[in-house]
Each structure stands twice: as structure tokens, then as C-alpha cells.
Amino acid sequence: MKLICVSNENEMSIETSRLIASLVRIKPNAILGLPTGSTPLGTYSELIRMFIEENLDFSKIRAFNVDEYIGLSGYHPQSYRMFMQKHFLDHINISPDNTFIPDGMTDDIDRECREYDERLESFGFADLQLLGIGPNGHIAFNEPGDQFIAHTHCATLTASTIEANSRFFDSRDQMPSRAITIGMRAIMSSKRLVLIASGRAKADAIAKTCFGPVTPQMPGSIIQLHPNATVIVDEAALSATGLFGDDD
């Protein structure tokens, strides 16, 4: 695992966007695995800037998202489909046919999960899988539990995740309690994995993910076993590792 420490969130976004842009230039039909959340917003902005100012071409790129809330249609303002359109996909020249996000309104969750896995497998999984991490260590919506779950599945969100994400909803009651998420097989089958985090709220999760035991209680820790994982974090997110002496 390669650990890149930068001084702040903006540098994290610049570094991450450069990695993605290099791949897009070298392999114009690459498969990108993409997350939502606050963490990748700066990366997406920077990639949009590169599209506008530097002709970064997404026309043959295929992008799949890692998760979607169950019960929200793609037109709901808090759905992850809407998030991706608003913050990234609507602003680049990617073909809508090449963007994939689980259907949160499916009438058959098992079938939706199975078909999403089959599609990912048919792509050969991601050339680059970008991930954020939750304060509880979840990656995508693989929540802490007794085992790592391999396949795309329906996750029941933990209280910690509901607490962290309900800030985007008018009230906590409106936040869905379940989501469809890719599983560890798709994550670990990616050719390159890039996990990003900034700020002290992620410090404990980053310390355990990078330096703790590999355990499903801290789902991010599985990336220690990935053959080509890069973690890009700012100093605040590394502050619980002891790498900066006395935790400041």
C-alpha cells in the first residue's frame, strides 16, 4: 500500500485528479469506479476543469458508481445518481450510456445486485477504483460487521453512517436506512485502488484502515491486501497514526 500525505484537502483533490487524468489519457476507454460524498467533490471539480481547459476526453470512459440509496429514484435530489450528474457527469463529455449506478427504486433488489455484479464483471472491474471512507471505516456502503461481503448487496446502514449522512437530508427520518453497494470482490478486483480522506473526522478510520488489523469490523482495512492501493490523505486525516508525533 502506498501512502501519500498532502497538507490539505485541496492538495488531496489535485493529487487524486492527476492520477485519474493520467489513466484517462493513457487508456481512453478505462473503467472508473466512483464514489459520492463530500470527499471526492474537489477531485470531480478539478477533472471538470481539465475537461474544459485541457481537453481531457471522457467520451469513451465507462464509469460505475459504488452505491445508491434504496427507495430514492435517480431524480431525487439526494440520490447518488443525482449527485453524480450534478457534480461530475453533466459537466464532462461522458456518454450517458456509459454511466452506471444501481437502481434504488428496483422492485427486485436481489436481481438488481446480481445484474450490477454481472455488469462489473463483464467490464473486468475497474481500472481505477476511487473510494472515500466513512468515519466508521466503511468503504462504499460496506458497513462494519462480522464478515466481508463479496458481492453487490443490500446494506443496512449503521447509526454512525445515518448520523454522518443525514446532514444532506431535511431531517434524519428522510434518510434511507438501506443502500445497494458493491461488495469487496469488485473493490479488490480493481486494477488500482485509490482511497482518499481529509480532516480529523476520518483520522481514527484512516489509522485503523492503514495500520490496524485487517478485519470486517473496519471494512477499509481490507485494502491492505490490495496489490495496488494508494491512500491519499491530508495531515489531519493522518493525525491518529502517530506519524506526526504528538497528534497535532
Q: List residues with catalytic annotation.
A: 67, 136, 138, 143
Q: In the complex with ligand PGA, which residue's Cβ is closer, 52 or 201?
A: 201
Please identify which residue in 120, 133, 182, 203 interacts with ligand PGA, judged by CB under 6 A.
133
Q: Is 38 in the site for ligand PGA (CB under 6 A)?
A: yes
Stretch that binds ligand PGA, among 24-32, 77-85, 119-127, 128-136 (CB under 6 A): 128-136
Give the binding range for ligand PGA (CB under 6 A) out of 43-51, 121-129, 131-139, 215-223.
Answer: 131-139
Contact status: 132 vs ligand PGA (CB under 6 A): yes
> 168 vs 211, which CB is nearer to ligand PGA?
168
- Say whether residue 39 binds ligand PGA (CB under 6 A): yes
Q: Does 37 bind ligand PGA (CB under 6 A)?
A: yes
Q: Are strands 128-131 and 192-197 parallel, antiparallel or unpaired?
A: parallel
We find the least distance from the C-beta atom of residue 37 to ligand PGA, in angstroms, to be 3
- SS3 letters for the chain? CEEEEECCHHHHHHHHHHHHHHHHHHCCCCEEEECCCCCCHHHHHHHHHHHHHHCCCCCCCEEEECEEECCCCCCCCCCHHHHHHHHCHHHCCCCHHHEECCCCCCCCHHHHHHHHHHHHHHHCCCCEEEECCCCCCCECCECCCCCCCCCCEEEECCHHHHHHHHHHCCCHHHCCCEEEECCHHHHHCCCEEEEEECCHHHHHHHHHHHHCCCECCEHHHHHHHCCCEEEEEECHHHCCCCCCCCCC
- For residue 122, the minimal CB distance to ligand PGA (Å) is 26
Whose Cβ is closer to ligand PGA: residue 65's or residue 241's? Answer: 65
Nearest distance in Å: CB 28, ligand PGA: 28
Give least dist CB 152 to ligand PGA, A.
16
Residue among 138, 190, 203, 142 at smallest CA distance from 164: 138
Q: Which residue is closest to ligand PGA by CB?
A: 37
Question: Which range binds ligand PGA by CB under 6 A, 21-29, 126-134, 170-178, 210-218?
Answer: 126-134
Residue ranges binding ligand PGA (CB under 6 A):
37-39, 132-134
